[in-house]
Amino acid sequence: MGSQASSTHRPLIDLTGKTVVVAGGGSVAPGWSIGRASCVTYARLGATVCVLDRDLASAQETVRLIEAEGGSATAYRTDMALEADIVETFREIASRFEAIDVLHHNVGIGKTGGPMETTAEDLDRIHSVNVKSLMLSCQAVLPGMAERGSGAIISIASVAGMRYLGYPHLAYCTTKAAVIQMTRMIAQQYAPQGIRANTVVPGLIDTPRVSANVAHMFSESLDEAKAARARQVPMQRMGTAWEVANACAFLASDAASYVTGTEIVVDGGITGKYV
């Protein structure tokens, strides 16, 4: 039988000894954001986690949750809208850790509105956070990954970058589509150097950001708004941050050693519904 049948073989979903950087690892409100759930999941799998967020207190709360379970993590205050912040944070991480094994880019802002409601300034600001920060983060980690001949990049997009779901979010949808394509191109260019790059595409996920922002879109109470979103999904419920984090953990691990340049859609079937 193959080596995977050996009782001494480590589980494939195992990040022991890995350093994972999560950009956007805090939460805009109490609860489990995708970034926070991903940080805790990586730590549970043995990784050391660098938690980046523009809200240092929120990043520190993620670290506290990890350390309470016996894991290892460090918080960094990083505004992903600022190139200088990104460069300095990755320089600090590189000085402390031998290698960055996984980059998880979990950053995204938006503004409701179509082409007539979106200003050039809006588009520039949202593109800077959602797309430019991904490029800058990749520029920080790719040389080291290429030198070692290994590494994984995971970007978080949105089904809004693939389908129109009934909400006019021109800048958000456009930039999340760009995230998908940028990740594909990085995957193709760096596959020969042993670097994998993939995108996780969440659907309608029940997160603190959704709770803070979604109700006004429906002109209803939060409970009614969540129920309306759940009815859109073939599985008849919103997803959880943990369900997205599990997909990220797979892509970060050796279980995905032959997976690159693609997307894992975590959406309860909603994109298929809107084909």
- The residues carrying an active-site annotation are 172
CB 185 within 8 A of CB 155: no
Burial tier of 246 (Cβ tally within 10 Å: 0-12, 13-18, 19+):
middle
Q: Tell me how far apart the alpha carbons of residues 101 and 87 are, in angstroms, rounded to a whole number.
A: 17
* Look-up of token digits 């599990």: 246
Residue 14, classed as helix, strand or coil, is: coil
State how far the Cα of 71 lies from the Cα of 20, in Å rounded to an integer.
13
How much helix, strand and coil, in percent to the nearest 5, is found in the chain?
A: 50, 15, 35
* Measured CA distances, 118 to 73, 123, 214 (Å): 38, 7, 19
- Cα–Cα distance between 141 and 126 in angstroms, integer? 23
Q: Between vectors from CA 92 to CA 39 and to CA 95, what angle results, nearest 5°?
A: 105
